[in-house]
């Protein structure tokens, strides 16, 4: 997918109403006050986890991430980097989509629209070394704790 298509998906998530109940789809999840979507995913690494294969996948996903960061920054200004590690180890309940994202990544970049109640985040994550590396977009309504 081209950067313009990824940017369009993010814009669509911003406009999409939040469902009343948790819903899962193959490429994401939604619930009260949030949406998460996989924008791009590498191959999985069950069969081959060689350094060359993993590095090529990381470079491909990072290039898409950087291009999307550039496009969103041109539209909304610079993002805020949010450290997700404290949420992973928190003893307090962590709201979605932060709860899901901190399972996959250590940091996300967030854009907050001044006149809107929603924020947009993108991150790169991987659930396990054998799983695909994913470029994820999230839209949330609740303040980031």
pLDDT tens column, 20-57 = 999 998 899 999 999 999 999 999 999 988 899 999 99
Q: Residue 122: in which H helix or E strand, if any?
A: strand 119-125
Q: Are 36 and 30 in contact (CB under 8 A)?
A: yes
**pLDDT reading at 88 higher than 90:** yes
Residues 60 and 78: their CA atoms lie apart, in Å, by 23
User: What is the structure's pLDDT at 34?
Assistant: 96
**What are the DSSP calls for 40-108, one per residue?**
EE----SS---HHHHHHHHHHHHHHHHHHHHHHHHHH---EEEE-HHHHT-SS---TTHHHHTTT-SEE
Band the pLDDT of 72: cuts 50, 70, 90. Answer: very high
Which residue is it, tokens 């990381």? 58
Give tens-digit pLDDT for 101-128. 999 999 999 999 777 789 999 999 999 9
């Amino acid at each position: 997918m081209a950067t313009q298509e990824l940017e369009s998906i993010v814009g669509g998530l911003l406009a999409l109403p939040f469902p009343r109940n948790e819903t899962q789809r193959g490429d994401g999840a939604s619930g009260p006050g949030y949406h998460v979507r996989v924008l791009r995913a590498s191959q999985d690494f069950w069969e081959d986890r060689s350094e060359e294969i993993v590095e090529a996948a990381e470079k491909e996903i990072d290039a898409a991430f950087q291009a999307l960061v550039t496009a969103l920054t041109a539209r909304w200004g610079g993002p805020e980097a949010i450290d997700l590690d404290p949420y992973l180890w928190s003893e307090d309940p962590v709201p979605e989509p932060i709860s899901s994202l901190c399972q996959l990544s250590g940091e996300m970049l967030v854009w907050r629209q001044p006149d809107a109640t929603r924020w947009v985040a993108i991150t790169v994550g991987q659930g396990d070394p054998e799983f695909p590396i994913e470029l994820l977009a999230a839209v949330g309504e609740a303040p980031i704790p």
